[in-house]
Chain A
């Protein structure tokens, strides 16, 4: 073909123009080839990765939290399915419109939903469901299911909800789970927004055993978030079930005995340290916290003057009163300062400097040896014992016996209490320790503070051969012997026997029963230093907050089983009178009703031996 033609007008087509066209075509080809090379070959790998991320979402599969059962297999903490309404931001075209619609369906306040959204937005990825409403009723669920189709991004989430069948009864043992907060998320990278974690009690301490491991699934989605396919990458592993040493029946029975009062009961198996019952009254309902406690309810609980949230068994410490005399006796015997047969004369008071320290028995006990001092709880005997020991030796022995430090039970925020010493006084107040203070400490008053659980642990060590065992709530956990009591078997048995005598003939006679061996020591701990005029006031005449704390520390043996039961009633008055009958009925539960004996309550009214201590 010829290259050019003469046109009809005799003019040539523009030659430069033709070169331009060819140059442009060549340029176009080179430009696009280079660019395509760059995108598809040079950076192809990179874009391939991006494409995979684009279409795949990874989502975790929730692992069921381990159940918690009592020793007989009764469920104490279980999982129930719960439905939540989630919003996937990436798929939601009109957030405000959607939230308005949700508000319309549920009757919730739009502003509240919007706040939830704004808060959640910062903490969840655009493709993760942001939980708008945590717990949907079935009625609401049906309503939303029917309408949600036309609102992209809304998703019904099926989750597990912790449920505590005996919410009130077990609250101080189990604690509760609640949605992980910012702090939890920070601490544990495996947690995601909306996950539940243990916040209190066993749920908190044994979180790792209960939680299990989340699974992972991969979901293929399109740009509208519609799911096309999914497969499981990692199967979830459910958390382990926990069988507790708690006997739910005993727990309920014990709690009933304390009803209407503030106090604590610890029931331990003396040989293993396993906790059979752990009661702190008043209590709260664990279930309240699971779905987020309403602020009003929380304020009520927090401001309640009876402090229902406080675990009085392990988190509260009190002056132990005369129950501390058990330790004083053990310390003195262990130090070899006194023989059990040595006597002290009690005239009703003991003078140190210009101050008279009174025995609880105005007329005095006369001549007392260690056995009768324990049985009748003679203060003067222990004043003198304390004088001889000195506070630092008392301190050392008490610490060895497990006082002044957390017991190590599987519960959080345990208090260690306080066993004073000269160094402590100096450090704390910059003052020297005084003799008078030693006397006060000797009878478990003043600055001595112990938790009911510490006392139970100590009593258990007295009766189980001197092994100081960590109290434990999990049935199958191995027995954890922390230390050995620094006391000869002979001396230890002497104290145990003295406790049995206290039940037979002393301040704890309410516990007496023919078919079992019971030992005990009562205690009455002054809350405030009363003016002399008030000292002899009857308990019921005093203002509640001024009443003494009533203690009783006991052990009971029948059919080869030995239990330790410690009870403390806050502002309950005299230990024997208030705490005694409670412990009595606990033994009734443990050993069966005592044959030939009037019921515990009746016995309490019938027999009023010594109002001791």
Chain B
């Protein structure tokens, strides 16, 4: 391992880091509001925001750890990680711990591990490795090879069932494939067949998942079930109007009409309290953040690094699109958190790790070549 070049620290992508800090700070502030609910005169708080701060610190450590070594060593880690991931995923149905009716966790006594989180890294690394091998657009053979490697872990995650993570893995890979570019004929065929295949996918969904999709088009269909989330979230967001109700003043969230307000629906709390103006600023922050990630991909010194950064871009892009789309009522309710805003330990750690990878790629863009 090469010694760490002190000059590297001067090349840290400060704008990206600052953007992450701002988003995470906004998230903690929002959780502070979301975790309080009024009882009588006083405000009682669930310590979600405190825990989130601790997760953030842990994530920061991981972020630093993932920046210190040259990311090119990850090429060697890609395949072993994929194999370990597949083994662990296979173990989940056998010895997994059931939480909320889904077997997603492996209990190692001191800590629990969600192999689906590992699968995201494995997919990112293997995907970046395979796609960066050649240049030019993807033909049938290489496309199918990549899919053959990455579809099994995605499928195993989906059947856990963890549709959110499974989709995340699939979409992450799709994004990277699109980033590489498809050969014209392949693109044309897929353009026709994929939309045709989507209805077939319908039959693999569980009834509650189908209901969620149907509910999207007509929330009143099941106003107290899956439609409840959509209706309440839209009421919370909409009632924020132009300027919002003010910090800690959101009645819908404070009075607990809004379900899962600290996890998947956290942004509704934000939109209610900060209004249209605040929401647009948050969306803009996310867009700046994504643009910075795209910049990392663009400026990477090699194709592997560029694909890694593109993978990180897509990882965040889909989550932002699906989570906010769901909260705003334009996407089905799928359990995908909003990066940095939603409460969640493992998600926070994974997010920071991926930022670490992006920073790693970004700060080494000058190592071999300087202008």
Contact = CB atoms under 8 A, between A and B. Distances in A.
Interface of A: 1-9, 11-14, 16-18, 20-22, 24-26, 28-29, 31-33, 35-37, 39-41, 43-48, 50-51, 54-55, 220-224, 226, 228
B299 A14 contact: no
Interface string B237-281: 111111000000001101111110000000000010001100110
A36 to B, nearest CB: 5
A72 to B, nearest CB: 50
A33 B283 contact: yes
B324 interface: yes
Given A25-B291, A223-B255, A11 B271 contact: no
B241 A41 contact: yes
A36 B256 contact: no
A36 B276 contact: yes
Nearest to A8: B302
Given A7-B302, A14-B306, 9 more contacts: A2-B371, A7-B301, A28-B317, A37-B276, A41-B241, A44-B240, A55-B255, A222-B255, A224-B256
A5 B365 contact: yes
Interface string B8-42: 00000000000000000000000000000111100
A458 B142 CA distance: 113
Contacts of A48: 238-239, 241
B55 to A, nearest CB: 26
Contacts of A5: 299-301, 365, 369
Given A17-B310, A21-B297, A28-B286, A40 B242 contact: yes
A13 B297 contact: yes
Interface string B282-308: 011011001100100111111101100
Considering residues A26, A45, A48, A51, which has the most beta carbons from chain B within 10 angstroms of its beta carbon? A51
A40 B291 contact: no
B306 A7 contact: yes
11 contacts: A7-B301, A13-B300, A17-B180, A25-B290, A29-B283, A33-B280, A40-B237, A43-B238, A44-B240, A51-B236, A223-B255
Contact of B297 (A18, A220, A223): A18
Interface of B: 37-40, 135, 178-181, 232, 234-242, 251-252, 254-259, 271, 275-276, 279-280, 283-284, 286-287, 290-291, 294, 297-303, 305-306, 310, 313, 317, 320-321, 324-325, 328-330, 365, 368-369, 371
B1 to A, nearest CB: 18
A55 B257 contact: yes
Given A48-B238, A228-B38, A9 B255 contact: no
A221 B255 contact: yes
Considering residues B239, B294, B320, which has the most beta carbons from chain A within 10 angstroms of its beta carbon? B239
B237 A47 contact: yes
A24 B271 CA distance: 23
A40 B365 contact: no
Chain B's interface: helix, strand, loop or mixed, by majority? Answer: helix
A8 B241 CA distance: 52
B239 A47 contact: yes
A222 B38 contact: yes
A36 B280 contact: yes
Given A40-B275, A43-B238, A222 B256 contact: yes
Given A7-B303, A21-B313, A222-B257, A36 B271 contact: yes
A24 B313 CA distance: 10
Contacts of B298: 3-4, 13, 18
Contacts of A222: 37-38, 254-257
A28 B319 CA distance: 12
Contacts of B275: 40
Contact of B235 (A9, A47, A221, A226): A47
A16 B181 contact: yes
A17 B178 contact: yes
Contacts of B328: 32, 35-36, 39
A26 B368 CA distance: 32
A446 to B, nearest CB: 69
A36 B179 contact: no
A233 B361 CA distance: 64
A223 B287 contact: no
A26 B132 CA distance: 26
Contact of B237 (A6, A29, A39): A39
Nearest to B38: A228
Nearest to A22: B294
Nearest to A11: B135
A21 B310 contact: yes
Given A14-B180, A54-B252, A221-B255, A40 B287 contact: no
Contacts of A220: 255
Given A40-B279, A47-B238, A51-B235, A25 B287 contact: yes
A29 B294 CA distance: 15
A447 B283 CA distance: 92
A588 B174 CA distance: 107
Considering residues B238, B291, B301, which has the most beta carbons from chain A within 10 angstroms of its beta carbon? B238
B294 to A, nearest CB: 4
A366 to B, nearest CB: 92
Contacts of A12: 135
A12 B39 CA distance: 60
Contacts of A43: 238
A55 B257 CA distance: 8
A6 B369 contact: yes
A227 to B, nearest CB: 9
Contacts of B256: 222-224
B283 A32 contact: yes
Contact of A46 (B237, B238, B287): B238
A28 B179 contact: no
Contacts of B271: 36, 40
A46 B287 CA distance: 29
B302 A21 contact: no
Given A29-B284, A35-B328, A40 B238 contact: yes
Contacts of A7: 300-303, 305-306
Contacts of A31: 325, 330
